[in-house]
Amino acid sequence: MVGLLSNNAIASPEPSDNDDTSLTYKELMVKASEWANKDLEKSIDFCNQAKALIKDSDNIKGICFIHREQGYIYEQNNKLELAIDEYTTGLEVAEKNNDESYQLSLYNDLAIANRKAAQYQQTRIYHNKCLDLAKQTNNLTMIEYSYHGLGYLYETIGNFEQAIVFYFKSLAIAEDHGTKGDVIISLQNISNTYLKIGDSKGSLTNIDRAYQMTLELRDSSRLANVMVDYGAILNNAGQYNQALEKLQAAYLKYESLQRKAEMGQAIIHIIDVYLKQGSFNIAQEYLEKGRKLEGSMANQDIAQLERRAGDLYQKLNQPVKAKEAYLRSLDIATQHKYRVLSEKNNYKLYQLFTAEGDYESALRYLEKSIAIKDALLGENKNKNIAELQFKYDSEKSDKEIQALKFRQKTTLFISSMLLMTFLFGALMYNNRLKAKSNSKLVKKNAEIENQNVQLIESNEVLSQYAYVAAHDLKEPLRNIGNFINLLQRRYGKDFNEEANEYMTFVKEGAKRMNNLLKDLLEYSTISSQKKGDEKINIRNVIENVVLDFSASIAEKNANLVFPETTPDLIINKVHLKQLMQNLIGNALKFCEKDPKIVVDVLKTSKETVITVEDNGIGMKKEYENKVFNLFQRLHKNDGSFDGNGIGLTICKNIVSKYNGKIWFEPVLTGGTKFFMSFPNEVNENNNTNKTTQVEMPEYA
């Protein structure tokens, strides 16, 4: 992600510890920046020297400058509380001396640091302070940066639509006052945000526009930066050849500029693509190039490179080298407190030692992985609570603003009416009667609107609660399964038959619970997913589902029949695939011998109807009101048929999203025929929604 108005130090040569007492405070701060990613203690020592140098002077700007730089050095090293303290001290100096320039910069710095610390209310407060002061002073650049920062904030809490709104406001200002560099940065962020909501077309359109504008600037460094983003987006979209083209071009640009740290970052992305393609030998060549650059790379990038080295050697079936790489990555991650990376490395080492039969070492790394994971889960829960609180407070604040505007309008209206009463007498009397009626109507509408908003908020919170609860429960279950496996492998030979049987029961119970939570997560996400806005070919989706079930189809000798051509349907492709997976999967599951499944599509002037007919065990019509309810199963839970009774509930929720209907009819010769109808008019008039969220490729 690209940021505006960051405190990034200008690229400088390798740091030197040559301490010259004749250095100015600015030169001392340059040295502090040089050491920021290498030796924090040495970096802060230079900061303290600079502070001592101008401690008793009246150089207000110099004092603010040092506090800003030291705050950013702490921020680079994830010392967010210390960063906020430095920024706050600098802001107090700037406010006391009415230095508007530094006030604006430090408001922005504090907003960014608080966002990273998950202090979202403080983030919004500082961005709004910056925005208000920028508007008062007509500082268009800082207005642009404030909108951009608010976009970051809403992107961080997952409100991607609102994020895009603020990014476009920032973009509009940048376009108006002609800063092409800022236009490019906004386009990069818009493209990455579009990708997160599943709009690959919007993502590629905006990153390509940024790329074309960068070509016009003839700025090699900025061009390389945009190409790295472009390559990452193409990689995420599965366009590996195009991704490699952009990433390798970025690498060569950085090489020509002797930007070794950025060369290393580009290599990490390139290795990712080659690992996905299965081109392990080429990935190894780039790994060797990357390792030669480690002396110039930031610690976090070195740790990431070594983790990818571990992944590569695992693919090459070289466990000794894989362990060495993961251990190097783990050592750096532990030293610098990159906990997500530490957890992943510990878990990878647990897997490698388990495969070797060294269960004592495996258990040690698994325990470390679980301890870090539990700590991160606790922090994520707090972060989720902070996000929900921020959303609630934001909506509450917006409502209060609207209520204030309403009261202002009402006051103005009543004043006008009183004046007209004085002037027009009897005529005004009739108008006042009408005004009272209108006021009651407005009040009633406001009450209804408030109830609707409260209902939406309640549903949203419940949906998020269900998602978080189900998601968090999966981790303890995975731990139970891992420890049971280790116990059986290490001590199974010492258990009697009954104890081993009990262990098996625990494993099976954990497995069933995990499947249940998986289904519950899938169910809970349906309400938050948006309807599709593109025409989807139904046959293409059916063919993909048939490929997914190819093993089951072959095993059961099933016969699937579906039409050669089908009409298009405006629907989220994921939703249509879920429908077909559930219905075809049930048809295969509930037929014991030679299943025959017939899928048909009929489009009339009013609706499009999809049917799925099977020759399975069938269902009686009297169960129609039961089978679509959550966790309802018509067969006994005796292991004859797997499943949790949630598939048809998901189908009903999806169809309902499109104002459609789902029902079934028993087949006389045995089996069931399901019907799904989608109104054409509704389907065609609701084509402006975004698709569901997808994640950016993981790269810290």
Same domain, 602 and 477: no
For residue 174, pLDDT beyond 50: yes
DSSP reduced 3-state for 665 = strand
Residue at 229 is within a domain: no
Which of 526, 551, 580 lies at the terminal end of a domain, its last residue?
526
Residue tagged 């009819």 (tokens): 665
- The pLDDT of residue 690: 30
Can you tell me the distance from the alpha carbon of 176 to that of 129, in angstroms, rounded to the nearest whole number? 23
- The pLDDT of residue 694: 28
Same domain, 563 and 597: yes
**Residues whose CB falls within 8 Å of the CB of residue 564, separated by 6 or more in sequence, listed in order:** 539
Question: Do residues 511 and 481 lie in contact, with contact meaning Cβ atoms separated by under 8 Å?
Answer: yes
Calculate the CA dihedral of residues 122, 123, 124, 130 and round it to 10 degrees. 110
Tokens of 78: 């994830």
- The pLDDT of residue 352: 92
Same domain, 546 and 445: no
Residue at 46 is within a domain: no
- The pLDDT of residue 695: 30
Residue at 162 is within a domain: no
Which of 526, 549, 580 lies at the terminal end of a domain, its last residue?
526
Same domain, 518 and 494: yes
DSSP reduced 3-state for 427 = helix
Q: Between the CA of residue 440 and those of 236, 309, 405, 434, what are the distances in Å?
A: 54, 70, 18, 10
- How does DSSP assign 180-195, residue by residue? HHHHHHHHHHHHHHHH
For residue 306, pLDDT beyond 90: yes
**Averaged pLDDT for residues 298-324:** 92
Which of 491, 526, 561 lies at the terminal end of a domain, its last residue?
526
Angle at 215 between CA 214 and CA 221, to 5 degrees: 60
Residue 274: which pLDDT band, with cuts at 50, 70 and 90?
Answer: very high
Same domain, 485 and 417: yes
CATH number of the domain that residue 570 is part of: 3.30.565.10
Going through 492-579 in order, the beta strands assigned E by DSSP cover 535-537, 559-561, 568-570
Q: Where are the alpha helices (DSSP H) in 357-425?
A: 359-424
Same domain, 542 and 514: no
Residue at 240 is within a domain: no
More confident residue, 349 or 469: 349
Q: Fill in the amino acid letter for 467.
A: Y
- The pLDDT of residue 416: 52
Same domain, 540 and 661: yes
- The pLDDT of residue 12: 35
For residue 698, pLDDT beyond 60: no
Same domain, 503 and 644: no
Residue at 675 is within a domain: yes
Same domain, 489 and 541: no
Phi-psi region of 128 (alpha: psi -120 to 50; beta: other; left: phi over 0): alpha
Residue at 243 is within a domain: no
Same domain, 577 and 506: no
Q: Between the CA of residue 624 and those of 514, 578, 582, what are the distances in Å?
A: 28, 20, 17
More confident residue, 10 or 648: 648
Q: Which of 480, 520, 485 is nearest to 500 (CA)?
A: 485
Phi, then psi, of 22 in degrees rounded to 5: -85, 0
Residue 159: which pLDDT band, with cuts at 50, 70 and 90?
Answer: confident
Range of lowest pLDDT (150-159, 260-269, 630-639)? 630-639
Range of lowest pLDDT (170-174, 437-441, 556-560)? 437-441
Can you tell me the distance from the alpha carbon of 1 to that of 556, in angstroms, rounded to the nearest whole number? 49
- For 75-106, what is each residue's pLDDT tens digit? 988 899 999 999 999 999 999 999 999 999 99
Residue 6: which pLDDT band, with cuts at 50, 70 and 90?
Answer: very low
- The pLDDT of residue 516: 63
Residue 568's CB is within 10 A of a number of other CB atoms, namely 14
Same domain, 410 and 463: yes
Residue 420: which pLDDT band, with cuts at 50, 70 and 90?
Answer: low
More confident residue, 588 or 529: 588
For residue 4, pLDDT beyond 60: no
For residue 700, pLDDT beyond 90: no
For residue 287, pLDDT beyond 70: yes
Range of lowest pLDDT (33-37, 165-169, 235-239, 405-409)? 405-409
Residue 612: which pLDDT band, with cuts at 50, 70 and 90?
Answer: very high
DSSP structural state of residue 662: E
Question: Do residues 235 and 697 lie in contact, with contact meaning Cβ atoms separated by under 8 Å?
Answer: yes
Neighbour order of strands in the sheet with 559-561: 559-561, 596-603, 607-613, 672-679, 661-666
Q: Which domain holds residue 457?
A: 377-526
- The pLDDT of residue 682: 47
- How does DSSP assign 603-615, residue by residue? E-SSEEEEEEE--
Domain count across the chain: 2
**Averaged pLDDT for residues 408-415:** 52
DSSP reduced 3-state for 458 = helix
For residue 239, pLDDT beyond 50: yes
Residue at 58 is within a domain: no
Range of lowest pLDDT (309-323, 455-469, 512-526)? 455-469
Same domain, 548 and 587: yes
pTM exceeds 0.85 for this model: no
Can you tell me the distance from the alpha carbon of 442 to that of 352, in angstroms, rounded to the nearest whole number? 67
Residue at 541 is within a domain: yes
